[in-house]
Amino acid sequence: PRAHAEDVLHLYNWNNYISDETMTRFERQCGCRVKQDYYSDNEEMLAKLDAGATGYDLLVPTGNAVETLIRKNALRPLDKSKLPHLANINPAYLDAWYDPGNRYSVPYATTTTLIGYNVEKMRQLDLPTDTWALIFEPRYLAKIKGKITVLDSQRELMAAAMRYLGHSVQATDPAEWEQAKQLIIRAKPYWAAFSNSTYIKDLAIGNIWVAHGYSNDMFRAREDAKAAGRPFTIGFATPREGAVLAVDNWVLHKSGQRPDLAYKLIDFMLDGANAADVSNLIGAGNPNAAALPHIRTEVGGNPALFPPLSELGHLEMLRDFGPKLRRNLSRMWTEIKVR
Amino acid sequence: MKSRGGQFWLWAASLAVYAFLYVPLAVVVLFSFNDSELNAQWVGFTTRWYAKLAADADMLHATANSLLIAVTASATATVLGTLAGVAMQRYRLRLLPTLALTPVAMPELLLGVSLLLFFRQVLDLTLGFVSILVAHITFSIGFVAVIVRARLAGMDESIFEAARDLGATPWAAFRRITLPLILPALIAGFLMAFTLSIDDFVITFFVAGVGVTTLPLQIYSMIKVAVTPEINAVSTLLMLLTLTVIATASRFAPDVLKGKA
Amino acid sequence: MARHARVDRLARWGMTLPPTVFLLAFVAAPALIMILASFREPGEFGGLAPWNGASFEAYRFLLTDIIYAEIFARSLLVAVLTTLICLVLAYPLAWLIARSPKRRRDLLVLLVMLPFASNFLIRIYAWIMLLGPLNLLFSPWAVMIGMVYVHLPFMVLPLYVNLERHDPALLEAARDLGAGAWTRFSRITFPLSLPGIYAGAALVFIPVFGMFAVPELLGGTGDILIANLIKEEFLQNRDWPLGSALSILLTVAVLACAGLATLAARRGFKGTEAVS
Amino acid sequence: MALLELRNVTRRFGSLEAVKNVSLAIEAGEFFTLLGPSGCGKTTILRMIAGFDAPDEGDILLDGQSLSGVPPEQRPLHTVFQSYALFPHMTVAGNVAFPLEMAGRPKDEIRRRVGEALELVHLVAKAESFPHEISGGEKQRVALARGLVGRPRLLLLDESLGALDAKLREQMQIELIALQRQVGIAFVFVTHAQDEALALSHRVAVMRAGRIEQCDEPDRLYTQPANRFVADFIGKVNLIDVEVLAASKVLLALRAPGLGEIAASDPRPLRAGESGTFALRPELIRIFGRKESADLKNRFEGKVKELLYLGDVTLYKVELANGFVIEALMPNAAPGRAKFHEVGDPVAVCWRHDAGLYLRE
Amino acid sequence: MALLELRNVTRRFGSLEAVKNVSLAIEAGEFFTLLGPSGCGKTTILRMIAGFDAPDEGDILLDGQSLSGVPPEQRPLHTVFQSYALFPHMTVAGNVAFPLEMAGRPKDEIRRRVGEALELVHLVAKAESFPHEISGGEKQRVALARGLVGRPRLLLLDESLGALDAKLREQMQIELIALQRQVGIAFVFVTHAQDEALALSHRVAVMRAGRIEQCDEPDRLYTQPANRFVADFIGKVNLIDVEVLAASKVLLALRAPGLGEIAASDPRPLRAGESGTFALRPELIRIFGRKESADLKNRFEGKVKELLYLGDVTLYKVELANGFVIEALMPNAAPGRAKFHEVGDPVAVCWRHDAGLYLRE
Ligand SMILES: Nc1ncnc2c1ncn2[C@@H]1O[C@H](COP(=O)(O)OP(=O)(O)OP(=O)(O)O)[C@@H](O)[C@H]1O
Ligand SMILES: Nc1ncnc2c1ncn2[C@@H]1O[C@H](COP(=O)(O)OP(=O)(O)OP(=O)(O)O)[C@@H](O)[C@H]1O
Ligand SMILES: [Mg+2]
Ligand SMILES: [Mg+2]
């Protein structure tokens, strides 16, 4: 590293969320360097910030985390004048509940939580793939026992169960949660494991046939299987009962030293061509309207990755609960794990 | 002398255990040459991952950081842990044994979070190299202390007395007698501390400051997507590097540390 | 000794003080923060709520619910099993290393630790690859294999370090008095190696409680351990008081287990402790 | 002022009083010996002097200064341990060099003095051996050399010649004495070998069960033991329970139950009727055929029960009329004729009236 | 057939031949002693017999069967180690019980026999102590009890009485002999204490630097040493370099350079002119004032140079005319008169013509 204080932007980002090429391009354009640290979970990032970690200019939290950060007064309000390309964002993604008027956040990418599956196996076993029933109903599960993983995340799994049962993921009625718990406990014996990351590989290898997971991961699994020349293909679809949508946003952390560089990066990423990278690279949905022309059709045209605006109503975002409910849900989750 | 049968079974059992330790390693090394991004099935031989690694500045930088931290932290932990272990064995202490075992017993997460809180909110320390170092030393001390103590337990006290009697100050007796005799424990303790440090993710995740990244952090950032053979490659190289570093270190170590009896 | 010489006091302080101060600063102080944290209320958005008098809510929550005790018991079982299996596997190896020629010993020790210089996740992934085809993945067996694998060196090394020091004359004496191989082991070597076993057991048994990655990655849907709960509270649920309380209860319980074991052992093998 | 002084030193291990109220004074350049049966507390005393152990009561002074609180390395004395306590990771030469290195002597002086010390103990050939590669006696000699090489003012020797053969031991004894003369080292020598104690020491303290029974010059210990224990412990002795029949200023008439009257002499004022022990050294007893000198006092008849050939002397066990067995030592002064009398021979034993000693306790 | 036989046994440590071509045969029930200076290979021989070490050459046979390949635990013999090798984690009683437990004796028998063995070595009070809590001599006794308690057919004792005081040692010796008579145990006893060797043994092998120099009955060793080394090693002896002047069938005239002519006797056919050593035991020498018996043969004048009080005897070192110092031992047969002659006294020494021995090597 050069000795002199240089222009360095500290970005606290998801793993593998921006390609190296994109970053290099940005660095060249702005004449600065970007240093990234990574997290694999909003909560990881929040925990670290809660404990007092500082020095990050830019974060990429999901909606619920944005709300948390705003409420904790940890973010720097946006000076939209420094973001000339903001207009590229599809208005459907603006003014979300977590940040009315987008005072702090700029949407960057979206993912859906859905079901990924081994196309050939499903066909062979004659299983439906567009419903949560596949992971919750014993009559289906019996055929794929031990060949299915679900997310090791209380919110996500409960959300899926709630949607399947026809409830909102933000429901507060304990009876509804209880129902969801029973549903999960009934299905659990058929599942191989709770898995947050290994399912990509396991799907691609063929260790498992069905996985509950994120759309971009399923995309990845599909690409991997294809690249490795597996004798099967990976498919994925948003269940018709509805699912969870996650929108990741750019926000400026208050402790950041270089908001100027942060604005530069956000605006750079708002450019259609640059914004398209995240979709092309990892199969994330893209709220940037100007990006669509740059996105490969097998990504952009996939409704599971790019939910049509008509379906957005079907998708719910997760919103943090209060401490009391959190604790009770956690207790419920523990019970699910143990039973 | 040992009976032949006994010797045979001893060897057989030991080889089996070594095999247990190395079979996964063989997989790691083998797949670092695998010509497949998915890295789940042998496709073909390639060295391109090593080439990729060689060009991956972040990874190399993280590796250098990790090694530096591991060597510094484990050396410091070995010193402090040895003192603690000897003191625990020699004096009937109450506080120190508990203190030394606590970081071993504390769940990593708690240790990580609490250290982070402590660094930031009590010491107002800027996170970075030092915070990682301190954290690694903290959780390694107990390991070294325990093993040093296990070495000393039951050792003939009279030779330490003899040293003092013949004019050795406590320090001289420690350096000339105690240290050489517990040397295997020191080496073992150092190795444990080294691997604990170079492999730690959870605690480092919390106490690492912006821009200071270690190999496990770097690897975790990549792994979410997939374990590409590049990570196997870096693991392989890391082992080789460790082997060389330690072999060289032992060659140039001062005589006392060579167990030159 | 009745009275201590000045140099002896100095030596004692010189030896005790540095690690004590260091650990007080970086273990006791942070631990204190977390102890305090466990008596607070969780913040509305994670972290901690402002201090508002001690709240025992977290402890009440954990201690009045049998499910947490159940998970602790499960973790205890895994810890005990892991420790025992590690002991059985480590003993012959440690013994062999200890009895090898001096110049070869360090190399053999290094070979035990070397795999652990590679990355943890990579090793676990290697196990996933190995266990998958054996149909062992996502089972309690996989968890045990992983736990044993991860902790084995911490049993081998203390054992080796202790065994290396044994006086071969004692084995000769036992032999001479008619003890066969097994008796020599059970009556002489084993009891004499108890300090090494305690050390190894401490370094295996205790950390097992904190290990969440192995059950998470190798275990099935039922293989949750207490460490996973702690992770859940800190990293998913962001309920720090509960996480802290859980950790503290765990730490205390584990240290108490270790202490009890030491006490029991001390009583059972008075001689060994006397020697040690 | 004495070099070393022990004042009412007591040391307890649990309920066992290993050392009981021991007081001693050792002069500079003195060869002082602690003699006593196994387990009587000799090593414990040395350990307190050396500073590994501290008295529970009493004080130890060096040059009049209390040693309490003075660590072992600051005491101008070295110890040769009963268990040797050689440093297992150092060669023989390394072990011997250790005290010199600690004293910060220059390298070449160390080399020279280590060489000399090893020569002294005949171990030059083993200089580069490790302790586990040498024999028991060799180990002991290394310990000895290591203790001597630093020329401390006071050297504590804990049975430090016990593993050596007579020849070597004698040589070592001579070296010790020579060193003492040349350098003025004082020795505290622990031994259970009384001949060694008697031959080497200026003074000997005889211990029993933590107490000092008698502290005296060697020949006085032998000829004037303070009590039955000392008499019995040092050398061979016949101990006969007696009762005082009559005592004049010098002459003493004793009655040994079942044996008869014994004539002895004692300057102490003794009361008739008191009972005690009559101690008689075997070498002061003469044995002859029954027919000879039948008219002597202190003459008793018996039969040879057993004889033990001891090289230069032969020990006869003679069973007297009342079944009491008396031991007599006859020098094998005539070559080839080790045995004057055979087992079963009827003989008579006899001794001069001033040969034995009356002991009150 | 001998119980134990060593046939041309050799053992090397690197370039050192610790045991050289040793052959021995030990009979059942025999008390056999290996005697020799420190480092001569005694322990090495025992270790080979016990099976911890194997000969580089030669063979060891028990009851005529080669022991090669038989592990120590299957050899019907126990060893009392020079270094004790007590089990530190067992109490004294536990140590002693060990061999019985190994032999699978019933519990109450073990308790009884352990009690007996501890009584034998006077350690009942220490039964529950651990080895690090007892004294050196007590440790040795535990080792002894542990070796004895199992009543092996052959017991190897490596300097096993060395740390005991004379009284205790003698008691132990008596117990050993008694055991041998009762149970018929054979002993191989290693010692450097010649008096012990001479007093206890049926036969003694004297070793030097790995070789056996002489293997014989005790009194023959003393009176008929095979060579200078044996004569010197066993007991005190004056060794005088001599040349044969004339030899008849019995009488022998020797010339000691600078001293004069010595009359001796020797049945061997000796050639005049050959040179050797004249060995003379100190106790066979008489000392008297110069004036007395001036006409005797083998009479030489000198001056008392030094005297050593040894309790029952006094050793006189008399410097003869040519500067040669001769040692003479006088029994202190007269009470209170330990010293017949003082240092500096002019005296004469004299011995019978059959007192000394001519040794060729
Ligand atoms: N650490 C200890 N704990 C308990 N008792 C002890 C300890 N050390 C010594 N003793 C006891 O104290 C007494 C004196 O022991 P010490 O070692 O002084 O004897 P010693 O005279 O040197 O005997 P020896 O000639 O056999 O070496 C013995 O009875 C011994 O058993
Ligand atoms: N392991 C070994 N390595 C090298 N040399 C050895 C070893 N063991 C013994 N020796 C040497 O062999 C010789 C004989 O040793 P041994 O122990 O038999 O003597 P010893 O007769 O028992 O003497 P001591 O009376 O002193 O015990 C000694 O010179 C010793 O130094
Ligand atoms: Mg002693
Ligand atoms: Mg020996």
ipTM of the complex: 0.86
Q: How far apart are CA C140 and CA C46, in angstroms?
A: 33
Q: What mean pLDDT comes out for the span A302-322?
A: 87
Highest mean pLDDT among B181-185, D309-313, D333-337: B181-185
Q: How confident is the model at residue B253 (pLDDT cuts 50, 70, 90)?
A: low
pLDDT score, position E143:
94
Q: pTM above the 0.90 mark?
A: no
Inter-chain CB proximity A53 and B116 less than 8 Å: yes
Average pLDDT of chain E, as a whole number: 88
Distance of residue D150 Cα from the nearest chain E Cα, in angstroms: 24
3-class SS letters over D230-287: HHHHCCCCEEEEEEEEEECCCEEEEEECCCEEEEEECCCCCCCCCEEEEEECHHHCEE
Q: How far apart are CA B8 and CA D98, in angstroms?
A: 42
Run of H or E residues at D358: strand D357-359
Inter-chain CB proximity C177 and E102 less than 8 Å: yes
Top pLDDT among B156 and D47 is at D47
E38 closest CA partner among D149, D177, D141, D160: D141
| C235: chain A residues, CB-CB within 8 Å | 41, 43-44, 47
Q: How confident is the model at residue B4 (pLDDT cuts 50, 70, 90)?
A: low
* Residue of chain C minimizing CA distance to B189: C157
Q: How confident is the model at residue E251 (pLDDT cuts 50, 70, 90)?
A: confident
Inter-chain CB proximity C5 and D53 less than 8 Å: no
Q: What is the percentage of chain A residues whose pLDDT exceeds 90? A: 53
Report whether pLDDT(E309) > 80.
no
Q: How confident is the model at residue C216 (pLDDT cuts 50, 70, 90)?
A: confident
- Helix axes B215-223 and C120-131, enclosed angle (nearest 10): 40
Q: How confident is the model at residue B75 (pLDDT cuts 50, 70, 90)?
A: very high
Spell out which chain B residues touch chain A, with contact meaning CB-CB distance below 8 angstroms. 36-38, 40-41, 43, 113, 116-117, 119-121, 126-127, 205-206, 208-211, 213, 217, 220-227
**pLDDT tens-digit readout, D152-178:** 999 999 999 888 888 888 888 888 888
Q: Please choose from E16, E48, E84 the residue to mutate so as to test ligand 2's pocket, defined by most ligand atoms within 8 A of CB.
A: E16
Top pLDDT among C81 and E223 is at C81
Q: How confident is the model at residue E353 (pLDDT cuts 50, 70, 90)?
A: confident
Inter-chain CB proximity E89 and C169 less than 8 Å: no
Distance of residue C109 Cα from the nearest chain E Cα, in angstroms: 27
Q: How confident is the model at residue D12 (pLDDT cuts 50, 70, 90)?
A: very high
Average pLDDT of chain D, as a whole number: 88
**Token pair for A94:** 């603006």
Q: Among A247-256, D209-218, E125-134, E227-236, which is the least confidently predicted range?
A: E227-236
- Helix axes C240-268 and C29-38, enclosed angle (nearest 10): 120
Query: C-alpha angle with apex D185: D179 to D189, nearest 5 degrees?
Result: 95
Q: How far apart are CA A187 and CA E130, in angstroms?
A: 62
Highest mean pLDDT among A4-13, A218-227, D109-118, E350-359: D109-118
Please name the residues in contact with B79: beta carbons below 8 A apart, sequence gap of 6 or more: none
Q: How far apart are CA D157 and CA D148, in angstroms?
A: 10
D136 lines ligand 2 (CB under 6 A): yes
pLDDT score, position D155:
93
- In one-letter notation, the amino acid at residue B45 is F
Is E259:E321 a contact under the CB 8 Å cutoff?
yes
Please name the residues in contact with D310: beta carbons below 8 A apart, sequence gap of 6 or more: E195, E198, E199
pLDDT score, position E131:
93
**pLDDT tens-digit readout, B100-126:** 888 888 888 888 888 988 888 888 888
Report whether pLDDT(B14) > 70.
yes
* CA of D135 relative to ligand 2 center, distance in Å: 4
D20 closest CA partner among D209, D210, D208: D210
pLDDT score, position E338:
46
E43 lines ligand 2 (CB under 6 A): yes
Query: C-alpha angle with apex A253: A251 to A258, nearest 5 degrees?
Result: 100
Is A277:A288 a contact under the CB 8 Å cutoff?
no
Print burial letters for E74-94: b (CB count within 10 Å at least 16), e (below 16): ebebbbbbbbbbbbbbbbbbb
User: Counting atoms of ligand 2 from 1, which one is nearest the CA of E42?
Assistant: 21
Inter-chain CB proximity E88 and B1 less than 8 Å: no
**Token pair for A186:** 């009934």
C119 closest CA partner among B234, A279, D360: B234
**pLDDT tens-digit readout, E52-82:** 999 999 999 999 999 988 989 889 999 999 9
Residue with CA nearest ligand 2 atom 19:
E39
3-class SS letters over chain A: CCCCCCCEEEEEEECCCCCHHHHHHHHHHHCCEEEEEEECCHHHHHHHHHCCCCCCCEECCEHHHHHHHHHCCCEECCCHHHCHHHHHECHHHCCCCCCHHHCCEEEEEEEEEEEEEEHHHHHHHCCCCCCCHHHHCHHHHHHHCCCEEECCCHHHHHHHHHHHCCCCCCCCCHHHHHHHHHHHHHHHHHCCEECCCHHHHHHHHCCCCEEEEEHHHHHHHHHHHHHCCCCCCEEEECCCCCEEEEEEEEEEECCCCCHHHHHHHHHHHHCHHHHHHHHHHHCCECCEHHHHHHCCHHHHCCCCCCCCHHHHHHEECCCCCCHHHHHHHHHHHHHHHHC
Report whether pLDDT(A1) > 90.
no
Top pLDDT among C133 and C248 is at C248
* CA of A127 relative to ligand 1 center, distance in Å: 85
pLDDT score, position B258:
45
E164 lines ligand 2 (CB under 6 A): no
Top pLDDT among B224 and C197 is at C197
If contacts are CB pairs under 8 Å, which of residues 154-173 in chain B contact chain E?
154
Is E292:E253 a contact under the CB 8 Å cutoff?
no
If contacts are CB pairs under 8 Å, which of residues 45-84 in chain E contact chain D?
82-83
* CA of D311 relative to ligand 4 center, distance in Å: 24
- Tell me which residue in D37, D329, D333 faces E168 most closely, judged by beta carbons: D37
* CA of E32 relative to ligand 4 center, distance in Å: 16
D195 lines ligand 2 (CB under 6 A): no
Average pLDDT of chain A, as a whole number: 89
Report whether pLDDT(B37) > 60.
yes
Q: How far is CA D54 from CA A38, A61, C1, D48, in A?
A: 62, 69, 5, 5
Run of H or E residues at E172: helix E166-183
* CA of D89 relative to ligand 3 center, distance in Å: 25
Most B-contacting residue of D89, D96, D140 (CB-CB within 10 A), to test interface: D89
A198 closest CA partner among B218, C218, B42, B219: C218
B1 closest CA partner among C100, D10, E52, D47: E52
A·B CB contacts under 8 A: 90
Interchain touch D–A (≥3 Cβ pairs closer than 8 Å): no
Q: How far apart are CA C111 and CA C105, in angstroms?
A: 10
pLDDT score, position C37:
86
If contacts are CB pairs under 8 Å, which of residues 147-166 in chain E contact chain C?
147, 150
| B209: chain A residues, CB-CB within 8 Å | 53, 55
**pLDDT tens-digit readout, B180-239:** 999 999 989 999 999 999 889 889 988 888 878 888 888 887 766 566 788 888 888 888
Distance of residue C252 Cα from the nearest chain D Cα, in angstroms: 35
Q: Find where tokens 């082992």 sit.
A: B239
Q: What mean pLDDT comes out for the span B3-28?
A: 85
Q: How far apart are CA B13 and CA B107, in angstroms?
A: 33
Inter-chain CB proximity C221 and A322 less than 8 Å: no
- Tell me which residue in C11, C120, C192 faces B201 most closely, judged by beta carbons: C120
Laid out side by side, the sheet with D65-66 consists of D16-26, D4-13, D57-62, D65-66
Residue with CA nearest ligand 1 atom 1:
E133
Distance of residue D69 Cα from the nearest chain C Cα, in angstroms: 4
* CA of E16 relative to ligand 2 center, distance in Å: 10
Q: How far apart are CA A110 and CA C150, in angstroms?
A: 37
Q: Find where tokens 């600051």 sit.
A: D74
Residue with CA nearest ligand 1 atom 9:
E134
| D77: chain B residues, CB-CB within 8 Å | 165
Inter-chain CB proximity B146 and C112 less than 8 Å: no
pLDDT score, position B260:
40
Highest mean pLDDT among B58-67, D136-145, D293-302: D136-145
Inform me whether the C-beta atom of residue A172 falls under 8 Å from chain B C-beta atoms: no
Laid out side by side, the sheet with D275-280 consists of D260-265, D251-256, D238-247, D275-280, D357-359
Going through chain E in order, the beta strands assigned E by DSSP cover 4-13, 16-26, 31-35, 57-62, 65-66, 77-80, 154-158, 186-191, 203-208, 211-216, 238-247, 251-256, 260-265, 275-280, 286-289, 299-309, 313-320, 325-331, 346-350, 357-359
Concatenate the DSSP letters of all residues of C219-268 into one string: --TT---HHHHHHIIIIIS--HHHHHHHHHHHHHHHHHHHHHHHHHHHHH
pLDDT score, position A140:
94
| D88: chain B residues, CB-CB within 8 Å | 159, 181, 261
**Token pair for D85:** 């306590």
E23 lines ligand 1 (CB under 6 A): no
- In one-letter notation, the amino acid at residue D187 is F
- In one-letter notation, the amino acid at residue B132 is I
C36 closest CA partner among C232, C241, C230: C241
**pLDDT tens-digit readout, D343-359:** 888 888 888 888 888 89
Most C-contacting residue of D19, D57, D68 (CB-CB within 10 A), to test interface: D68
| C258: chain B residues, CB-CB within 8 Å | 101, 105
* Residue of chain A minimizing CA distance to B214: A37
Pairing of strands E4-13, E16-26: antiparallel
Inter-chain CB proximity E73 and C180 less than 8 Å: yes
pLDDT score, position D335:
56
Residue with CA nearest ligand 2 atom 11:
D134
**Token pair for C211:** 């290990």
Inter-chain CB proximity D150 and B166 less than 8 Å: yes
Query: C-alpha angle with apex B152: B151 to B155, nearest 5 degrees?
Result: 115
**pLDDT tens-digit readout, E169-206:** 888 888 888 888 888 889 999 988 888 888 888 999 99
* CA of E199 relative to ligand 1 center, distance in Å: 29
Query: C-alpha angle with apex E230: E227 to E233, nearest 5 degrees?
Result: 145
Handedness of CA B146, B148, B152, B154 (dihedral sign): positive
Is C41:C48 a contact under the CB 8 Å cutoff?
yes
Is C232:C68 a contact under the CB 8 Å cutoff?
no
Pairing of strands D57-62, D65-66: antiparallel
Q: Among A151-165, C10-24, D48-62, E287-301, which is the least confidently predicted range?
A: E287-301
